[in-house]
Chain A
Amino acid sequence: MNGRLRSLGTVLAAPAAALVFALVVGSIALSVVGVNPLFAYSEMLEFSASANSFVSIFNRAVPLYISAIAVAIGFKMLLFNIGVEGQYLLAGLVAAAVGAQLTLWAPLHIVVMLVVAVVVGAVWAGIAGILKTWRGVHEVVSTIMLNFIAFSVVAFLLKNYFRDDPASLNLATKPLPLSGRFPSLNPVLEFFGLEPASGFELRGYLLVAVLLGVLYYILVWRTRFGFDLRASGLNADAALFSGVKPKRMVVLTMLISGGFAGLVGMGQVTGFFYGYTQDFPRFLGFDGIAVALLGRNHPVGMGLGALIIGFLRRSSQILDLRGVPREVTVIIEGVVVLAVVVAYEVVNRRVQAAEVKAAAEATQRPGGVAEAA
């Protein structure tokens, strides 16, 4: 048990070291452009320590987190769904369009929209799953291609079918009725004495994200399906010999991953834009990959990762005001992801070596190894 604790410590050391490394690289970048890194960092910290920033960071983290889950569930079996980007955009659009047509009891209204989003995301991801199992097309390539196709399909649908007002230049779906809007959590914040300015609403969709995190954990670590999934990722041959059907697994995992992906943008749909507009945020799918890598596919780790990215993005806003190129945070993001991946690998090797050693010592206690048998 002591060893477990020790290894937990080493596991935490990896992201910490990576973060420090990224900050150092960021400092170098800042110094190059003639900014004192300490100044920039302290400005960022200070700026983030407010109720407004708190709300903003969490609102940013929520879609990143869900996106990370969608990616991670594939990663767990070494199935790389790089197509979350296209899946969530398409799902968000269709769900918004459907939601705008409904009038229902509020919770049900939202649930229906979420279900639509899940189905659309799953179907779009499922194409890649089927192409892989049926025609052997690698999912990295197919999901990327499907992203670009999804962009076209989204543009097409929005312009020709889902557009609210054909006369206006602004491409957007019809605004959601009140019953389709997710309530904000600001009352809860106020209860704790935090009072963000108007325009800063902590989206209630945060609760959905937390729920999805729990669901992800249970699915992957507590169910038979999860065991098959992880076994497939750890050793595909052994999984096959243990009765896992690889093709079924690929399609199923793609569907589930796509289902999660469908929910990525629904916080914005139900809690901010109240529909799908041209300004709908892009790149959340790709950011999700970074967060999944940061958090090592672990539900808590990815939560922290999403918050870190959320923090960097929020706090970068102050940099512009101080005349510092905010893109430095983009560099920090990139470096931290790469560094953390390397650091995990190093730590992993350490932990395994320690485990081997411990096992050898424990089994060698009385006498030799081969003697008694």
Chain B
Amino acid sequence: MWGSDREPHIAQTHREAPTRVPETEPRTGARSAAPAVELIDVTKVFPGVVANDSVNLLVERGEIHAVVGENGAGKSTLMKILFGMQAPDEGTIRVGGQETGFASPKEAIAAGIGMVHQHFMLADNLTVVENIVLGFEPTRGPRLDFVKARAKITELADVHGLPIDPDVLVETLAVGERQRVEILKVLYRGAEILILDEPTAVLVPQEVEELFRNLHSLRDEGVTIIFISHKLDEVLAIADRITVMRGGKTVATVDPRDVDAHQLAELMVGSELPTPETRESTVTDQVELEVEGVGVRAGERWALRNISFVIRRGEVVGIAGVEGNGQSELIEALIGVRQADEGRIELGGLDITGWGTRERLENGLGIIPEDRHRQALLLSSPLWENAMLGHQSLEPFVDGPWIQREGARERTQTIVDAFDVRTPGVDTLAIALSGGNQQKLIVGREMVSEPRMLIAAHPTRGIDVGAQAAVWEQLRNARALGLAVLLISADLEELIGLSDTLRVIYRGRLVADLDPATVTPEELGSYMTGVRQEVTE
């Protein structure tokens, strides 16, 4: 039946996986000298964007080859093309010297390619086993053979030092464990070429080190690894060779021993990378936001407990934490999308604990939500309606119950001009803008209304360096004018660079209070993973 055509292959991977000796592999044995992957003049055009413009990439067997480039440079697109998820418009792909063109990931997997995606590709409501074997199930008759699957996974986990419980639902896993599942998925299919798209974005420094150790041992077993990143020091630390992408083109392939981070940055964006430095402190002694003992329930558990902190005018308080430790709940409790189950919140001296979101927004709370597309935009609506969003009860967007189209358009034009949103006009649909420009619009709409307190969640995630620098600049300026900011970010450099005070959130509690002037990312990482605790209760 439906499983049968895959069975021989499963059997094969069973044999191969534990001992990985590239020379004896039947599939590529004859051509072991050929490069693992060759991409020649690959071009891919999306409406309005040339994501890949005659890209050339050559990856030798058994090396860790890094591909760097800023957000939007076309790295993910290139890898999806190699993996058969996107069809190239032009170009040649060779794997192991053989010309191929994968029509689907299935074919790429069959050719020994595996990919760990930038955003985890996991089904929360399925178990680890189910996630791993999906599409490649061992069978006994028509049945899925869970016993065999479990044994195989446990074995792979042992061999590669990736411990995991195969029978739990993925939704119960932490970020690091999820990544392990992703890597196991690839190993389970017996991949010889492993693509990792920005695997470190969600990890703390300690986890990054662990990942690098795993990657090194995989390479030593003969696996070819393509490592995508935009973090230069990481790339320099792990790669055997580095290819730099910029604006959809490959601009150079270099040896990490021959370059330093500055030179790489120069290749990547044509200049130094912007850094999120804040200058002198602007912290005042007027408290803008006071949070006291806030707790939020999630079903039978506490997602957030005993949260207390204050933010003063002109102060940026940064919250560091591994994703899923209560940041979302904190944001939601602060803007009133979710009511705190205990504790008190005061904004500008007013007790806002029981208020709804709209009242809070009307009273000077601003929000840059963590997920731009999901929480901050109406993608199929024009910009002027997006500029209204969150301010639809305020002038100049409305007059009493009536929408003021002219006022809204003018205000939007102001935002577009002042915040350098690149758009043909205010009637353009939000979906038509690049991520950076969308984010500038969101930042702009919050700033223009001059909030007293801004919650900025991942304000520069996934946007190009130009937009990133602009957003940082805006945050600094507003802070200088007395804005209180709560900054939540996964980018530790951003946190350290912009914050006046740093708190770490771990398992729904604030576990550390650190000085950004002296703290290192490694130190931060050990608090974020609970290795160190400085409980303040």
B291 proximal to A (CB < 8 A): no
Indicate if the CB atoms of B423 and A241 lie closer than 8 Å. no
* Least Cβ–Cβ distance between B437 and chain A, in angstroms: 8
Of A234, A359, A369, the contact of B424 (CB 8 Å cutoff): A359
A278 proximal to B (CB < 8 A): no
Q: Which residues of B contact A227 (CB under 8 A)?
A: 385, 388, 392, 403
The number of chain A residues with a CB under 8 A from chain B is 39
Indicate if the CB atoms of A359 and B375 lie closer than 8 Å. no
CA distance A169 to B420 in the complex (A): 76
Indicate if the CB atoms of B374 and A237 lie closer than 8 Å. yes
- A238-B389, A242-B390, A357-B47 known; A362 vs B423 contact (CB < 8 Å): yes
Indicate if the CB atoms of A241 and B392 lie closer than 8 Å. no
* Least Cβ–Cβ distance between A221 and chain B, in angstroms: 8
Indicate if the CB atoms of A359 and B48 lie closer than 8 Å. yes
- Of the candidate stretches A124-132, A333-341, A348-356, the one touching chain B is A348-356
A368 proximal to B (CB < 8 A): yes
Residues 30-67 of B, flagged 1 when their CB comes within 8 A of A and 0 if not, give 00000000000000000111000000000000000000
Indicate if the CB atoms of B428 and A359 lie closer than 8 Å. yes
Q: Which residues of A contact B335 (CB under 8 A)?
A: 241
CA distance A275 to B356 in the complex (A): 46
Residues 359-373 of A, flagged 1 when their CB comes within 8 A of B and 0 if not, give 111110000111111
Q: Which residues of B contact A228 (CB under 8 A)?
A: 392
Indicate if the CB atoms of B376 and A243 lie closer than 8 Å. no
Q: Which residues of B contact A224 (CB under 8 A)?
A: 392-393, 398, 401-403
CA distance A358 to B432 in the complex (A): 8
B203 proximal to A (CB < 8 A): no
A138 proximal to B (CB < 8 A): no
CA distance A237 to B378 in the complex (A): 10
Of B361, B379, B423, B470, the contact of A359 (CB 8 Å cutoff): B423
* Least Cβ–Cβ distance between A65 and chain B, in angstroms: 25
A101 proximal to B (CB < 8 A): no
Of B361, B402, B424, the contact of A363 (CB 8 Å cutoff): B424
Q: Which residues of A contact B358 (CB under 8 A)?
A: 243-245
Q: Which residues of B contact A230 (CB under 8 A)?
A: 378, 381
Q: Which residues of B contact A170 (CB under 8 A)?
A: none
Q: Which residues of B contact A282 (CB under 8 A)?
A: none
Q: Which residues of A contact B434 (CB under 8 A)?
A: 363, 369
Q: Which residues of A contact B48 (CB under 8 A)?
A: 356-361
A36 proximal to B (CB < 8 A): no
A225 proximal to B (CB < 8 A): yes
A322 proximal to B (CB < 8 A): no
Q: Which residues of A contact B226 (CB under 8 A)?
A: none
Q: Which residues of A contact B362 (CB under 8 A)?
A: 243
B269 proximal to A (CB < 8 A): yes
Indicate if the CB atoms of A360 and B376 lie closer than 8 Å. no
Residues 123-153 of B, flagged 1 when their CB comes within 8 A of A and 0 if not, give 0000000000000000000000000000000
Of B402, B433, B467, the contact of A373 (CB 8 Å cutoff): B467
Indicate if the CB atoms of B361 and A355 lie closer than 8 Å. no
Point out which of B356, B424, B470 has the most chain A C-beta atoms below 10 A from its C-beta: B424
Indicate if the CB atoms of A370 and B381 lie closer than 8 Å. no
Of A234, A245, A369, A372, the contact of B381 (CB 8 Å cutoff): A234
B466 proximal to A (CB < 8 A): yes
CA distance A363 to B437 in the complex (A): 10
Q: Which residues of A contact B359 (CB under 8 A)?
A: 243
Chain B residue at minimum C-beta to C-beta distance from A351: B429
A104 proximal to B (CB < 8 A): no
The number of chain B residues with a CB under 8 A from chain A is 57
Indicate if the CB atoms of A373 and B367 lie closer than 8 Å. no
Query: How many residue-residue contacts, CB under 8 A, span A and B?
Result: 137
Indicate if the CB atoms of A241 and B403 lie closer than 8 Å. no
B377 proximal to A (CB < 8 A): yes
Indicate if the CB atoms of B469 and A235 lie closer than 8 Å. no
CA distance A363 to B432 in the complex (A): 11
B533 proximal to A (CB < 8 A): no
Indicate if the CB atoms of B390 and A370 lie closer than 8 Å. no
Q: Which residues of B contact A235 (CB under 8 A)?
A: 374, 377-379
Chain B residue at minimum C-beta to C-beta distance from A242: B390
Q: Which residues of B contact A359 (CB under 8 A)?
A: 48, 423-424, 428-429, 432-433
Q: Which residues of A contact B379 (CB under 8 A)?
A: 234-235
CA distance A4 to B427 in the complex (A): 10
B315 proximal to A (CB < 8 A): no
CA distance A226 to B385 in the complex (A): 12
Of A238, A352, A370, A373, the contact of B429 (CB 8 Å cutoff): A352
Chain A residue at minimum C-beta to C-beta distance from B72: A370
CA distance A276 to B422 in the complex (A): 60
Residues 232-271 of A, flagged 1 when their CB comes within 8 A of B and 0 if not, give 0011011011111100000000000000000000000000
Of A222, A242, A363, A373, the contact of B466 (CB 8 Å cutoff): A373
Indicate if the CB atoms of B465 and A355 lie closer than 8 Å. no
A231 proximal to B (CB < 8 A): yes
Point out which of A221, A223, A224, A371 has the most chain B C-beta atoms below 10 A from its C-beta: A224
Point out which of A228, A240, A372, A373 has the most chain B C-beta atoms below 10 A from its C-beta: A373
Indicate if the CB atoms of B466 and A223 lie closer than 8 Å. no
Chain B residue at minimum C-beta to C-beta distance from A219: B401
Point out which of A226, A242, A362 has the most chain B C-beta atoms below 10 A from its C-beta: A242
CA distance A353 to B393 in the complex (A): 32
B369 proximal to A (CB < 8 A): yes
Residues 197-221 of A, flagged 1 when their CB comes within 8 A of B and 0 if not, give 0000000000000000000000001
Indicate if the CB atoms of A243 and B393 lie closer than 8 Å. yes
* Least Cβ–Cβ distance between B427 and chain A, in angstroms: 8
Indicate if the CB atoms of A360 and B378 lie closer than 8 Å. no
Indicate if the CB atoms of A356 and B431 lie closer than 8 Å. yes
Chain A residue at minimum C-beta to C-beta distance from B372: A238
B464 proximal to A (CB < 8 A): yes
Q: Which residues of B contact A355 (CB under 8 A)?
A: 428-429, 431-432
Q: Which residues of A contact B432 (CB under 8 A)?
A: 352, 355-356, 358-360
Q: What would be 13 A-B contacts, judged by CB atoms less than 8 Å apart?
A: A224-B401, A224-B402, A234-B378, A237-B371, A238-B374, A240-B357, A352-B431, A352-B432, A355-B431, A358-B428, A363-B424, A370-B247, A373-B466
Residues of B with Cβ closer than 8 Å to A? 47-49, 70, 72, 247, 269-270, 335, 337, 356-362, 367, 369, 371, 374-381, 385, 388-393, 398, 401-403, 420, 422-424, 427-429, 431-434, 437, 464-467, 469-470
Residues of A with Cβ closer than 8 Å to B? 4, 221-228, 230-231, 234-235, 237-238, 240-245, 352-363, 368-373
The 9 A-B residue pairs with the shortest CB-CB distance in the complex, in nearest-first order: A360-B48, A373-B466, A243-B358, A362-B424, A359-B432, A363-B422, A242-B390, A243-B357, A357-B48
